[in-house]
């Protein structure tokens, strides 16, 4: 009963910015938009069945061109191997569409887990994992800047070619 109940407690929300610089929480999209940054936050348990449920909640990249997903993990001191497997599969799906999966607010224990499983280097890329600084939102802000710059550079490169 506990496993079933815990799996129902995971929730995925999209965070969008308001014109005044504040942020709003809303439902996660079913599909990723192309050539755009989608900022997501997980709430709830990430162990066992919850990680499998989360995989079903992640927006599909299948119709997106160069999507960028930023997944905030600041609330987690540790994650399950099932969750790490979900990250690896999702990173692969996003990469197949020419995009990037970025993790922000990663706590040292979680970073160590990702490093031990070689997920950081082999599946995500060192440049896509942002350790949680003391300032809340600092890692996410940095990832957003890098993601937008990456999309803009690609756009400019595409304009230069005939």
Q: How does residue 8 score in pLDDT terms, banded at 50, 70 and 90?
A: low
pLDDT of residue 158: 61
Count the helices and strands in the chain (H runs, E runs).
Answer: 6, 6
User: Is the pLDDT reported for residue 18 higher than 70?
Assistant: yes
Q: How does residue 2 score in pLDDT terms, banded at 50, 70 and 90?
A: very low
d(CA 119, CA 66): 21
- Taking only the tens place, the pLDDT of each residue in 85-108 is 999 999 999 999 999 999 999 999
Homologous superfamily (CATH) for 2-160: STAS domain (3.30.750.24)
Residue 62 DSSP one-character state:
T
d(CA 139, CA 108): 13
User: Is the pLDDT reported for residue 1 higher than 80?
Assistant: no
How much of the chain, in percent, has pLDDT values that exceed 70? 91
Three-class HEC string of 89-142: HHHHHHHHCCCEEEEEEECHHHHHHHHHCCHHHHHHCHHHEEECCCCCCHHHHH
φ, ψ dihedrals at 133, nearest 5°? -85, 180
Mean pLDDT of 31-52: 92
pLDDT of residue 159: 57
Q: How does residue 5 score in pLDDT terms, banded at 50, 70 and 90?
A: very low
pLDDT of residue 3: 43
Q: CA-CA distances (angstroms) from residue 132 to 12, 72, 95?
A: 20, 10, 24
- Taking only the tens place, the pLDDT of each residue in 116-154 is 999 999 999 999 999 999 998 999 999 999 999 999 997
How much of the chain, in percent, has pLDDT values that exceed 90? 77
Mean pLDDT taken over the chain? 90
């Amino acid at each position: 009963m506990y496993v079933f109940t815990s799996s129902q407690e995971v929730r995925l929300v999209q965070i969008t910015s308001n014109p005044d610089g504040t942020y709003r929480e809303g439902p996660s999209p079913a599909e990723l938009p192309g050539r755009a940054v989608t900022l997501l936050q997980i709430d709830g348990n990430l162990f066992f069945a919850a990680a499998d449920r989360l995989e079903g909640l992640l927006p599909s990249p299948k119709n997106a061109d160069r999507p960028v997903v930023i997944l905030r993990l600041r609330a987690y001191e540790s994650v399950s191997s099932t969750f790490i497997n979900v990250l690896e599969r999702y990173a692969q799906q996003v990469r197949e569409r020419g995009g990037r999966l970025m993790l922000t607010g990663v706590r040292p224990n979680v970073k160590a887990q990702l490093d031990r499983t070689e997920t950081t280097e082999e599946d995500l890329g060192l440049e896509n994992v942002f350790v949680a600084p003391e300032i809340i939102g600092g890692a996410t802000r940095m990832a957003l800047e890098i993601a937008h710059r990456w999309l803009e550079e690609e756009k400019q490169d595409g304009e230069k070619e005939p």
